[in-house]
Structure 1
Amino acid sequence: MSENRKIAEDLIDAVGGRENIHSVAHCATRLRIMVNDKEKIDQERVEQIDKVKGAFFNSGQYQVIFGTGTVNRIYEEVSQFGLETKSASEQKTEAIKSGSRFQRAIRTFGDVFVPIIPVLVATGLFMGVRGLVMQEEILSLFGITPDHVPENFLLFTQILTDTAFIFLPALVAWSTFRVFGGTPIIGLVLGLMLVSPSLPNAWGVAGGDVEPLRFFGFIPVVGYQGSVLPAFIAGIIGAKLERWVRKRVPEALDLIVTPFITLLVMISLSLLVIGPIFHTIEQGILSVATNVLSWPFGISGLLIGGLNQIIVITGVHHIFNMLEIQLLAKYHSNPYNAIVTCAVAAQAGAALAVGLKTKSVKLKALAYPSSVSALLGITEPAIFGVNLRYGKPFVMGLIGGAAGGFLASILGLKGTGMAVTVIPGTLLYLNGQILPYILVNLVAIAVAFALTWMFGYSDKVKKEIEQQ
C-alpha cells in the first residue's frame, strides 16, 4: 500500500468512517469533508496522521490542511474509496445551508465581496507603484522632477487607479445579483446606471462644485461613484424582483419583459429611495469607522491588532471588506490594512517560536511552513495547526498583533489597497511608507516570538495537551 493511500485510509477512519462522510472536495491546500455527524471525528487521531498540518471545522466543512500539491494526491486516493466527490464551489454552496442564520448571512456577505477583491488588490498595487514612481528620488534618476511628468502619463496612471472605484457600484450590483439568484448582467447594467455620466458626479457634489438633481423638490439624486451599500441593497432587491417577475411572465415574453421591468423598477427605486437612504447610512458607518481608526495614543491599533485574529476564527471577518472598500473609495488609503497586517505577522512569529523550540520533528515540519504561509498573508495553517492547538502561542500572537498595531496607529500607516498583508503587503506601502511598514511587522513578529519562546510553549505542555 502506498504512503498516500495509507494516509487516505487513516483519515477516513479518523473522521468516522465512510458512512459518516457526505462528500469530499479540495481547494489549493485543504481537503474539505462534509460529515454527517461532527461528533464522530477523532480530532487527535486526525492531527497525528502523517502529512496533516492541521484540521478544523469551519463553514460547515471539516477542513484538513495538507498543503499545495500534497492535497491533490490525497484527494485522488480518498476518491477511490467510493465516496461522493464534489467541486469546492458545489460543496461550499451545500455548506452554506448549515449554521445559524447569522453565520449564513456573513457567508453570503463574503460571497458578494470576495470576488471583487482581486481587482481592488490590483488597483491598490497600482496606487503603490505610482506612489513609488512619483517620488522625487526616483524621478531624479530619469533627470526629471514631479512638475515635468507628462500629463499623458498621469492620465494613464489615473485610469489604472480610479476605474475600479468609479464603477464600484457596477461590480457590487453584478456580484450581488449573482449571489442572490438574479441575472448578473442585469445587475451589472443596474450598477452602471447608478454611475451614469448623466447624473451629477458624487465626488463633485461632495466637494460642493456640483448641485444634486432635485426630484419632487426634495429628493436629492446623484451618481454613486465609489459607493457600496446602495448598490448592495439594490442588488438584493433587484435579484428577488427579477425572480418574482420571471415566475409570472410567459416564457415567450421573458427575454423582453423581465429585464425591462426589473431595470425600470430598480433604477427608479435606487435613485429615489434606496440611494438617498443607504448612502446616508453608508456615510455614517464610514464616519464612525474613521473616528475609531483615528483614536489617539494608538488605542485603535492596539484593539484591532489584538482582536483581529479572534474575529478571523469566528469567520465573520469578511464583514470588514465593505469598510476597507469604503475607505479606499473615499480616501484612497486604508489604515485598517496596516493594523491587520501586524496581527497576521504576529501569528507567524508565534508559530516560528514553536517550531524552533520544540524537539518534535513532526511539529517542526508543521510549524515552519505554517509560519512562512502566515508571512505570505495566510494564517489558517499557523492558527489551527499550531498556535490555537496549544493555546498560549495564539494568545502571544494576539499580544504581538496588538503591539504592532499600536505602533502602526501611532505612525499613521495607511495602505493603498486591501487584502494583501505582510510580505505581499509591502507593495501597498511603496509611497514613502515602506520602512515604517517593515518596522511594525518586525515588532509584531518579535513580540509574539519572544513571548511564545519564554512563556507560550514547551514540549511538556504539548505532551499534557495531547494526553487530555
Structure 2
Amino acid sequence: MSDVKQSSIQIVKAIGGKDNIAAATHCVTRLRLALKDEGKVDQEALDQIDVVKGSFSTNGQFQVVIGQGTVNKVYAELVKETGVGEASKDDVKKASEQNLNPLQRAVKTLADIFIPILPAIVAAGLLLGINNLLTSKGIFFSRPVIEVYPAWADFTTMVSLIANTSFGFLPALIGWSAVKRFGGNPLLGIVLGLILVNPALINAWDFGKVEIPTWNLFGLEIQQIGYQGQVLPILVASYLLARFEQFLNKKIPESIQLLLVAPIALLVIGFLSFIVIGPLTFAIGNALTDGLVGIFDHASWLGGLLYGGFYALLVVTGMHHTFLAVDLQLQGSALGGTFLWPMLALSNIAQGSAALAMMFIVKDQKQKGLSLTSGISAYLGITEPAIFGVNIRHRFPFIIAMASSSIAGMYISSQGVLGTVGVGGIPGIFSILREYWLPFAIGMLIVLVLPFVSTLLFAKMKKKDVKYGTRDQSLS
C-alpha cells in the first residue's frame, strides 16, 4: 500500500470515518472538509499522521494542512476510499453553512466578499509602501529619493497611480465580489461600483471642503457626491442589486431579459443609491468611524491593549475578515489611515515569534520543522499555520503571543500610529505612514523579542518537554 493511500485511510479514520464527511474538496495546501459532527474527530490521532502538518476548524469547515503537491494526491485517495464525490469549494461552503449560527453566517458572508479582493488591496498597500520609500525624506537621504535622483520622479508617479487605483475604485471591487456572493451578475456589480465613484461626482474625500452641487429630481435635491473608499454604500447597494436582478429574471421573459434586466436593475438601484442608500450608509459609516476614532482618542492605550491582544482570537473564530471593512472605512475617512492594521501586523509577528521559540522546546522533529516554517510564514503575514499548527496546540505560546501583542498594540496606539491596508507581518512596516515608522519599529521589536524569550522561559521554568500531538497540562 502506498504511503499516500495509507495516509488517506488514516485521515478518514481520524476525522470520524467516511460517514462523517458531508463534502470534501482541497485548495493548494489543505483538505477542506464539511463534517457532519466535528466532535467525532480524533485530534491526537490526526496529529500523528506523517503528512498532516496541522488542522483547524473555521467557518464550519474542518481543514487539514498537508502541503502543496501532496494534498491533491491525498484528496484523490480520500475520494476513492470514502466514495464521496469530488466537490467544488462552493459545494463544501454550502454544506458547511449548515453548522453555522446567524452570527457566523454574517461573518462568513463578509469574508466571502472581502477575501477575493484581498490580492488587489494587499498589492496596493505594498506599492504605497514603495512610494513612501521614494517620496519621504530621512530614509536614505536628508531629502526624498526623487529629489536626489529626479529621474525616479515619473517612475514614482506611476507607482502611486497604480497603487491608488485599487483604493480609489474600491467600490467597483467590492461591487463585483458582493453581487457575485449574493447571486447576481458580478459585472453589474462592477458597473454599480464605478457609478458610485464616477469622476463627474464630487470626491468623497473632499466632502465638507467644497460646495456640493445637487441634482433636482422633481423637487427633490440630491447631492452629487461620490463614495470613493467607502464600504457600506456599495455593500448595501450590491445586496439590493442582486436581489432585484433575481426578481426581474423571474418576472421578465427569457427572450428579452438581456435587453431589459440590466438597464432596469442599474437604473433603479443607481437612483436609490444616490437618493437613499448612499446618504444613509455614508452617515452611518461616518458615525461608526467617528465613534471608533473617539474611543482611541480618549483611551488609545486601552483600545490598543484590547485589539492588539485579542486579534489572534478573531483569527481563530474567522471574525478578523470583518475588520477589513473597518480598516478600509477608516482609511477612506478624513483620518487618512487606519490604526487597526498596524496592530494586525504586530499580532502576526508575535504569533510567529512564539512558534519559532517552540522549535527549541519540542523534541519531535516534525514539530520542530512545523514550528520553523509556520513561524516564518507568520512573519510574512500568514498566521494560520503558526496559530493552529503550533501555538494553540500547546496553548501557552498562543497566550504569551497574545499578551505580547497586547503590550505592543498599547504602545503604538498611544503613539497614534497609522497605516494603510496592505501587507502584514514584518513587511507590514511598508504599510505604515512614514512619520510613524519609529514607534512602529519599537512595537516590532517588542513582538519579535518578548514572545520568543517568554515562551522559552515559561517552558524552562516548568521544566517539562512539550511533545508533538499532546497538550502538556502543566504548561497550560
Partners of 2:149 and 2:45 in 1: CA distance = 66
Matched, 1:199 2:201: yes
Structure 2 counterpart of 1:423, from 417, 423, 426: 426
Letter of the 2:305 partner, please give it: L
Give 1:314-393 correspondences, 5 Å limit. Answer: 314-330=317-333, 331-393=335-397
Partners of 1:465 and 1:396 in 2: CA distance = 16
Letter of the 2:170 partner, please give it: L
TM-score by length of 1: 0.90
Deviation (angstroms), 1:159: 2.0
Deviation (angstroms), 1:7: 1.4
State the partner residue of 1:50.
50
State the partner residue of 1:11.
11
State the partner residue of 2:147.
145
Partners of 1:58 and 1:356 in 2: CA distance = 29
State the partner residue of 1:282.
285
Structure 2 counterpart of 1:222, from 221, 225, 229: 225
Partners of 1:315 and 1:4 in 2: CA distance = 30
Give 1:27-106 correspondences, 5 Å limit. Answer: 27-81=27-81, 82-106=83-107
Q: Deviations over 1:28-73 (max 9, x none)?
A: 2211222233232211111121232222222222211123333233
Give 1:151-166 correspondences, 5 Å limit. Answer: 155-166=157-168
Structure 2 counterpart of 1:270, from 266, 273, 283: 273
Deviation (angstroms), 1:147: 12
Partners of 1:140 and 1:350 in 2: CA distance = 37
Partners of 2:37 and 2:420 in 1: CA distance = 45
Partners of 1:140 and 1:352 in 2: CA distance = 37
Partners of 2:149 and 2:233 in 1: CA distance = 39
Partners of 1:206 and 1:147 in 2: CA distance = 37
Deviation (angstroms), 1:270: 0.8
Letter of the 1:374 partner, please give it: A
Distance 1:50 1:154, change over 3 A: closer
Distance 1:187 1:132, change over 3 A: same
Partners of 1:182 and 1:258 in 2: CA distance = 11
Deviation (angstroms), 1:165: 2.5
Give 1:118-137 correspondences, 5 Å limit. Answer: 118-136=119-137
Partners of 2:151 and 2:295 in 1: CA distance = 37
Partners of 1:266 and 1:142 in 2: CA distance = 46
Distance 1:52 1:207, change over 3 A: same
State the partner residue of 2:305.
302
Structure 1 residue runs without a partner (length 5+): none
Deviation (angstroms), 1:332: 4.1
| Aligned partners of 1:133 and 1:139 also within 8 Å | no
Distance 1:459 1:68, change over 3 A: farther
| Aligned partners of 2:131 and 2:160 also within 8 Å | no
1:80 is paired with a residue of what secondary structure? helix
Partners of 1:377 and 1:285 in 2: CA distance = 27
Partners of 2:316 and 2:186 in 1: CA distance = 31
| Aligned partners of 2:249 and 2:257 also within 8 Å | yes
| Aligned partners of 1:213 and 1:222 also within 8 Å | no
Deviation (angstroms), 1:175: 1.6
Distance 1:462 1:157, change over 3 A: closer
Deviation (angstroms), 1:395: 1.0
Distance 1:325 1:343, change over 3 A: same
Letter of the 1:23 partner, please give it: A
Q: Deviations over 1:262-320 (max 9, x none)?
A: 11111111111111111100111111222234444632221111111111111111110
Distance 1:454 1:314, change over 3 A: same
Distance 1:311 1:458, change over 3 A: farther
Number of matched residues?
Answer: 467
State the partner residue of 1:406.
410
Partners of 2:107 and 2:2 in 1: CA distance = 41
Deviates more, 1:29-38 or 1:225-234: 29-38
1:318 is paired with a residue of what secondary structure? helix
Q: Percent identity?
A: 36
RMSD over equivalenced CA pairs, Å: 2.9
| Aligned partners of 1:96 and 1:104 also within 8 Å | yes
Distance 1:181 1:297, change over 3 A: closer
Structure 2 residue runs without a partner (length 5+): none
Distance 1:146 1:264, change over 3 A: farther
1:227 is paired with a residue of what secondary structure? coil
Partners of 1:441 and 1:268 in 2: CA distance = 47
1:104 is paired with a residue of what secondary structure? helix
Partners of 1:273 and 1:54 in 2: CA distance = 48
Partners of 1:93 and 1:242 in 2: CA distance = 22
State the partner residue of 1:116.
117
Letter of the 1:346 partner, please give it: A
| Aligned partners of 2:146 and 2:152 also within 8 Å | no
